[in-house]
């Protein structure tokens, strides 16, 4: 499972570099949410730890959310 999510994260990153699209940002947000959920459920000792994964990922979760909100939707020109 870890290998699959790491590969998905890599593919999303490469896709963002090649052709940044508005549809990639929600996928990145969902992947971050999935990471945080799994770590919170499977490793509860890291839940509120200051250096733990879930709290450390919150600022990183804000970046794709802000880009998604402020990036203009591209329209196809005729």
Enter the tokens of residue 48: 């509120």
Q: The domain containing residue 37 runs over which residues?
A: 2-70
Q: Give the ranges where 1-78 is alpha helix by DSSP (H).
A: 2-18, 24-42, 53-70
- Residue 78 belongs to a domain: no
* Whole-angstrom distance, CA of residue 27 vs CA of residue 56: 19
Please tell me the predicted confidence (pLDDT) of residue 77: 47
Low-confidence spans in the chain with pLDDT less than 50: 75-78
Count of structural domains, the chain? 1
């Amino acid at each position: 499972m870890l290998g699959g999510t790491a590969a998905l994260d890599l593919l999303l990153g490469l896709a963002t570099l090649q052709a940044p699209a508005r549809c990639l940002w929600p996928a990145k947000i969902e992947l971050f949410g999935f990471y945080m959920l799994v770590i919170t459920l499977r490793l509860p000792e890291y839940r509120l730890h200051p250096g733990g994964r879930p709290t450390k990922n919150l600022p990183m979760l804000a970046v794709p959310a802000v880009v998604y909100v402020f990036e203009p939707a591209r329209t196809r020109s005729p």
